[in-house]
Amino acid sequence: MTSTTTGKDRRLGKGLAALLGTEFDDTPVSDNSASAASASGIQALELPVESVLNNPFQPRREFNPDEIASLAESIKNHQQLQPILVRVVDGKYQLISGERRLRATIHAGLKTIRAEVREADDRLVAELAIIENLQRKDLSPIEKALSFKRYIDEHQCKQDDLARRLSIDRSTIANLMRLLELPQPVLDLLQAGELTAGHARALLPIGDEEVQLRTAQKLIEDQISVRGTETLVAEMLKAEEDAETGKKVVNATRQKRRQPSPHIEAMQQELRMVFGTKVEIKSSARGRGKITIHFSDADEFERLRDIMSQNTRPQLRVAG
């Protein structure tokens, strides 16, 4: 990380205004060469719009055309109030933040755009792209989750590290990234806005992908609320537990084994809803036993540890 990413530039969670230190010269600079721009930390330039390359770390996949048109009209009437942020890469200008303003400027038919040049490495650019979209215009849940995953994969860090660098709760990152465990057809419904993140999260305790998709389609067709989805999933899990219990009863009859009491089964179902993953309780006639909580990876383990370390127990929503 270069020296320009320390001090006030590291205050990512304080907002872009604090992060970028919005002190710039409104007067266009005549020397627009990339070499001159890279010679100092910050410069205000008037750049041809076609000279600005896209940000390769942009997490947003879609831009609302109506919003771009509205912003373009505002820029034509009131001019550009805030410059975009760029850096010099291989002698060319690459966008760091301000893609909506760049698109709106092009939409307005303007040939140039005011820009501020800063020195920033790939990691800082990725962080800035996430922060700008989180604070100024919310990404879709899937875009957020994918941007977090890409950052973590590319920089070989943990969710805790990213949360600390962005000054957000680790649980926010973990809960969004868990959505990526859903099958792609369900993610497509979420990205299209046919399902909300609340609906999608409620589907996670269902282990079977085909059942998750069928349930998602039912939610859309029947216009079931998030609370209704939670109730429906709880009923489905209870039915699944009952079916499993039926099999166990048959096996117990054949093998003369003691079945879990209704109380143990209820607790098992309750814990499954609490932790959002498979939970098994086994007990002996003497009252001894064990609780097994399943997890798929280290991040899932950290999420479960967070839940278990909370002072208050999460509120349950169980049908009945």
281 beta partners: 291
Told to judge if 99 belongs to the known catalytic residues of this protein, a careful annotator would answer yes
Among residues 46, 50, 99, 241, which one is catalytic? 99
CB atoms within 10 A of CB 118: 25
3-state secondary structure the chain: CCHHHCHHHHCHHHCHHHHHCCCCCCCCCCCCCHHHHHCCCCEEEEEEHHHEECCCCCCCCCCCHHHHHHHHHHHHHHCCCCCEEEEEECCEEEEEECHHHHHHHHHCCCCEEEEEECCCCHHHHHHHHHHHHHHHCCCCHHHHHHHHHHHHHHHCCCHHHHHHHHCCCHHHHHHHHHHHHCCHHHHHHHHCCCCCHHHHHHHCCCCCHHHHHHHHHHHHHHCCCHHHHHHHHHHHHHHHHHHHHHHHHHHHHHHCCCCCCHHHHHHHHHHHHHHCCCEEEEECCCCCEEEEECCCCHHHHHHHHHHHHCCCCCCCCCCC
Distance, in Å, from the CA atom of 194 to the CA atom of 206, rounded to the nearest integer, reads: 19
Residues composing the chain: 320
Distance, in Å, from the CA atom of 239 to the CA atom of 310, rounded to the nearest integer, reads: 30
Distance, in Å, from the CA atom of 94 to the CA atom of 292, rounded to the nearest integer, reads: 50
CB atoms within 10 A of CB 173: 24
Q: Which residues are catalytic?
A: 99
